[in-house]
Amino acid sequence: MKKRADKHGEIIVKRRSKKGHEDEHGGAWKVAFADFTLAMMALFMVLWIIQPQVNSQPIAVGDRDVNPVVDGGAGVFDGASRTPLELDGMPQPVKTPERPAPDLALARNKAGEQSGEHATQQQGEGRQYDSNDDLRELAELIREVSGKVDALANIEVTVVPQGLRILIKDDQQRFMFERGKAALDPHFQTLLGALSGVLAKVQNKLILSGHTDAVQYRRPDGYNNWNLSGDRALRARNVMVDSGLPAARVLQVAAQADVMPLRPEDPENGANRRIEILLLTQRAESLYREIFGESYAQVHYSSSGAQLVTPKPAEAAPAPVSATVPAAPATP
C-alpha cells in the first residue's frame, strides 16, 4: 500500500494485489507427468519381457524375403530365425533353388502317360473301357487332369449304365459361353483341351450334347434354344478335335435345348446350361447303332431312283464236314 497527497492535501491510498506469477504457471505437474510416463514405460517393458510365447511358429520364408528387418528383429528374440548371421552382423537370407512353374502341356502329357501305363492295350488306338472298374479308373484320371487346370468346380464325372457321363458346367465366377452366343470362355477351352489329351487314348465312342435353360431365346431370324445348344455342342467338339481328339471318336453331336434339365423343379436355373460328353461302352454303342438302323434294311434315294439296301447277314460258321470212308469191297 502506497500513500501520497494530491494538490489539495488529501491523502490517496492506492492498493495493489500481490498475486504470484508462479501460482498460474507452476511446473509441479510436469514432474508428476514425467513420473507417470516413466512408470508406464517400465510396466510395458516388464510385460513385454514376461509375455508367453503364443506364436511359436517361425516367420514364413516369404515374409523374411520381403522384410528382412522383421526377420532379424523377431527371429533374434524368439529363437525362430533360420537366417545365419555373418561376422558383420547383417543377416544373410538362405537361398533356396528356384523351381520352375509347372508346365500345363507337360502335365497333360504326364496324365496321358499315366493313362497309358494303366491300360492293358499299349499300342494301337488306345484302350477300350467297358467294365465298371475300368470306367471308375478313367473317371479318377479325368478328375486329376481337371484339377491340374483348376476346373474341379466345372466338371462332374459319373459312371452310368451306358458308360461314363462327363458333365461340364458353369461356376459362380465363370460362364462357359456368353449369354445367347456360342463363344467359349478360355478357361473352359483349356479344360476341353485337357480332356482331349485323355480321351484321345480311349477307343470308346463319344456323344456330345448341348443344353440350355428354359429361358426362351429367339431372334428375328428364327434362331432359338435348339440352334444355340447345337452350336455350343459343335463348338465344344471342334475344340476337342483341334486339341488332338480323333474326329472319328465323336459318334454324334446333339442339340437338346431345354428338354433335359438338371433341375426339373427350376427349369430356368443357370445350372441347366451345360455340355455333356457320354463315353459309350461297346454294348451301348451297339444299341445306338441299332437304333439308327444299321442292322435293318434301308432305302437310299438318289437322282437315279430309290435303292433298297439290306445289311449283310452275319457269316455263319461253316458246318462241320463229316468224311465217310467207303467200305472195302468184299472179296470173293
Residues of the chain with pLDDT below 70 are 1-10, 12-26, 52-125, 293-302, 308-332
pTM above 0.75, yes or no: no
- Neighbouring CB atoms inside 10 A of 303's CB total 4
Alpha-helix runs per DSSP H in 79-200: 104-118, 132-148, 186-199
Cβ-contact 262, 156 below 8 angstroms: no
Task: State the pLDDT at residue 75.
Answer: 42
Cell numbers placing 195: 480332356
Would you say 231 and 182 are in contact if contact means Cβ atoms under 8 Å apart?
yes
Q: What is the pLDDT of residues 21-73, one digit of tens each?
A: 555 556 788 888 888 999 999 998 888 888 765 444 444 444 444 444 334 44
Evaluate whether residue 64 is within a structural domain.
no
Q: Does some domain include residue 242?
A: yes
The verdict on residue 155 lying in a domain is yes
Residue 182: name the closest of 230, 214, 223 by CA. 230
Whole-number Å distance between alpha carbons of 168 and 196 = 13
CA distance 129 to 135: 6
pLDDT digits (tens, 9 = 90+) for 193-218: 999 999 999 999 999 999 999 888 77
If one counts the domains in the chain, the total is: 1
The domain of 223 spans 104-291
CATH code for position 225: 3.30.1330.60
Asked if residue 32 is part of any domain, the answer here is no
Only one residue has cell 511358429, namely 57
β-pair partners for 2: 14
Residue 37 lies in a domain: no
Asked if residue 117 belongs to a domain, the reply is yes
Please return the burial class of 64, using the count of CB atoms within 10 Å of its CB with bins 0-12, 13-18 and 19+: buried
Looking at the domain assignment, is residue 312 inside a domain?
Answer: no
Which pLDDT does position 305 carry in this prediction? 72
Examine residue 13 and state whether it is found in any structural domain, yes or no: no
